[in-house]
Amino acid sequence: MQGRAGDPGTVPALGGLTIVDLSRVLAGPYATMMLADFGARVIKVERPGVGDETRAWIPPADSEGRSTYFASVNRNKEGITADLADDGDRERLRELLRDADVLVENFRAGTLERLGFGYEELRKLNPRLIYCSITGFGSAGGAALPGFDLLVQAVGGLMSITGPRPGEPTKTGVAVVDVLAGLHAVTGILTAVIARERTGTGQRVEVNLLSSLLSGLVNQAGSYLQAGVVPGILGNAHPSIAPYELFETADRPLAVAVGTDHQFRALAAALGAPGLADDPRFRTNERRVEHRAELAAVLTERLAGARAGEWSAILAAVGVPAGPINTLDEAFALAERLGLAPVVDVHGSRQVANPVTLSDTPAQYRLAPPALADASLPKSSAAASSAAHPPLDDRTTR
């Protein structure tokens, strides 16, 4: 089953919004793809002959030998090339920006200013321009620091609370900080678009990976800021809720996510041990957290009597959140069974559907990820080689 591509006759929610995308890799491209799905015209500007470096991040590759990484965040975009070391290309890019609504970039602070594309200069060219900068550590004290997702997970505290056990910090299985920053960029851009309707002028939007991560730490950050508690690694357990972790069953681990006393009472009854809910050690969530290890031992013994799939069905029937550890193919199959239509075919490229559903102006999937050969910005005869383009280290996020 494929997700619907949106009625091509429907006027898209962001139709008429033009975005010039100078970003590369993940955070910026993810943000602009989300906006493109709802009708924004996104013009992706890449280096001649080289392009976004994720084009070369293989394996894996699709059946045509193209990077699946690049394809995952670049649908619905037009592709052009511009050598920012070339006077003619810079002038052509300025002409493009003269009528654009949004610029998204992830250069190291100061690089675009040096090239004549800083915010102050471009706002004179186009007062309505919304200028979104995505950096690793902000434009002040962290301006010189490159922002790699792994690095930010490490220094931003995420790895200090992620891992199988204390002393074994672990990164997440996807660049979640880049995704968080991309989503914050979408929020900032759309907020600025709404503000422009009132003021008539654009503004600068700044998003950085470190701040996005600290915001995304939510309750864990709150435990430190409000209670002075510096959380550590709990494996798959939760610092404030129990039972809320993985348990072994007869065949494979089962995730059990009990968030209320009512759910715990239902869990105990389903396990054939209703008395657990009245045990003084487990009667309230606070007591269950205090006696987490003892509770886990009791539940593991009970859950060993059946397979994970069987327990999922039994517990779901009584309103207890539980499920097996699915692989990605199983996860997509689950979403299909639930009618979520998680996959769309974009001109032969299978893509994850936009997760936001709008009743009247749904996401539309118009363009496959652009090939570098599709670049259409005319080149000046004096164009320098791609080596003359600002080096990779002038990009502050990856």
Q: What is the DSSP string of 61-91?
A: B-TTS-BHHHHTT-TTEEEEE--TTSHHHHH
Distance CA 297, CA 303 (A): 10
pLDDT tens track for 250-296: 999 999 999 999 999 999 999 999 999 999 999 999 999 999 999 99
- Whether residue 235 is contained in a domain is answered as no
Given a contact cutoff of 8 angstroms between Cβ atoms, the answer to whether 157 and 213 are in contact is yes
Q: How far is CA 286 from CA 153, 221, 250, 271, 316, in A?
A: 30, 20, 29, 21, 24
Other Cβ atoms less than 10 A from the Cβ of 227: the count is 8
Indicate the range of 6-15, 86-95, 153-162 predicted with least confidence. 6-15
Q: CATH number for the domain including 290?
A: 3.30.1540.10
pTM for the full predicted model: 0.90
pLDDT tens track for 55-84: 999 999 998 899 999 999 999 999 999 999
> Looking at residue 64, what is its pLDDT?
86
> Looking at residue 387, what is its pLDDT?
34
Return the closest-CA partner of residue 270 out of 311, 321, 323, 324: 311
**Do 355 and 261 have their domain in common?**
no
Indicate the range of 24-28, 49-53, 286-290, 316-320 predicted with least confidence. 49-53
> Looking at residue 177, what is its pLDDT?
98
**Do 372 and 290 have their domain in common?**
no
pLDDT tens track for 3-29: 445 555 678 999 999 999 999 999 999
| Structural domain of 304 | 254-324
Distance CA 69, CA 61 (A): 8
**Do 347 and 319 have their domain in common?**
no
> Looking at residue 338, what is its pLDDT?
96
Q: CATH number for the domain including 59?
A: 3.40.50.10540
Mean pLDDT across the chain, nearest whole number? 91
Distance CA 35, CA 150 (A): 26
**Do 349 and 319 have their domain in common?**
no
Given a contact cutoff of 8 angstroms between Cβ atoms, the answer to whether 380 and 7 are in contact is no
> Looking at residue 220, what is its pLDDT?
96
> Looking at residue 373, what is its pLDDT?
65
> Looking at residue 223, what is its pLDDT?
95
Q: What is the mean pLDDT of residues 165-181?
A: 96
**What is Dmax (Cα atoms) for the chain?**
82
Q: How far is CA 158 from CA 103, 161, 230, in A?
A: 30, 6, 12
**Do 61 and 206 have their domain in common?**
yes
Return the closest-CA partner of residue 106 out of 184, 28, 206: 28
Cβ-based neighbours of 129, under 8 Å, separated by 6 or more: 97, 100, 101, 102, 103, 122, 123, 202
**Do 107 and 171 have their domain in common?**
yes
- Whether residue 279 is contained in a domain is answered as yes
Return the closest-CA partner of residue 85 out of 32, 48, 123: 48
- Whether residue 70 is contained in a domain is answered as yes
**Do 168 and 22 have their domain in common?**
yes
Which helix (H) or strand (E) segment holds residue 156: the answer is: none
SS (H, E, C) 323-384: EECCCHHHHHHHHHHCCCCCEEEECCEEEECCCCCCCCCCCCCCCCCCCHHHCCCCCCCCCC
**Do 195 and 304 have their domain in common?**
no
Q: How far is CA 14 from CA 10, 79, 185, 237, 359, in A?
A: 11, 19, 16, 41, 14
Given a contact cutoff of 8 angstroms between Cβ atoms, the answer to whether 322 and 304 are in contact is no
Confidence of residue 393 (pLDDT cuts 50, 70, 90): very low
| Domain total in the chain | 2
- Whether residue 376 is contained in a domain is answered as yes
- Whether residue 180 is contained in a domain is answered as yes
**Do 201 and 275 have their domain in common?**
no
Which helix (H) or strand (E) segment holds residue 184: the answer is: helix 176-199
> Looking at residue 63, what is its pLDDT?
87
**Do 43 and 156 have their domain in common?**
yes
- Whether residue 4 is contained in a domain is answered as no
**pLDDT exceeds 70 at position 86:** yes
Catalytic residue among 178, 261, 374, 394: 178
Pairing of strands 254-257, 244-247: antiparallel
> Looking at residue 186, what is its pLDDT?
98
**Do 286 and 163 have their domain in common?**
no
Per DSSP, what are the bridge partners of residue 43? Answer: 20, 78
pLDDT tens track for 101-151: 999 999 988 899 999 999 999 999 999 999 999 999 998 888 878 889 999
Residue that terminates a domain, selected from 324, 352, 374:
324
**pLDDT exceeds 50 at position 176:** yes
> Looking at residue 330, what is its pLDDT?
96
Active site annotation includes 149: no
Other Cβ atoms less than 10 A from the Cβ of 339: the count is 8
Given a contact cutoff of 8 angstroms between Cβ atoms, the answer to whether 106 and 135 are in contact is yes
**Do 23 and 85 have their domain in common?**
yes
**pLDDT exceeds 60 at position 315:** yes
Q: What is the DSSP letter of 242?
A: S
DSSP result, 137-150: STTTTTTTS-B-HH
If you count them, how many residues does the chain have? 398
**pLDDT exceeds 60 at position 34:** yes
- Whether residue 247 is contained in a domain is answered as no
- Whether residue 240 is contained in a domain is answered as no
**pLDDT exceeds 50 at position 389:** no
Given a contact cutoff of 8 angstroms between Cβ atoms, the answer to whether 364 and 8 are in contact is yes
> Looking at residue 142, what is its pLDDT?
81
Other Cβ atoms less than 10 A from the Cβ of 39: the count is 20
> Looking at residue 396, what is its pLDDT?
52
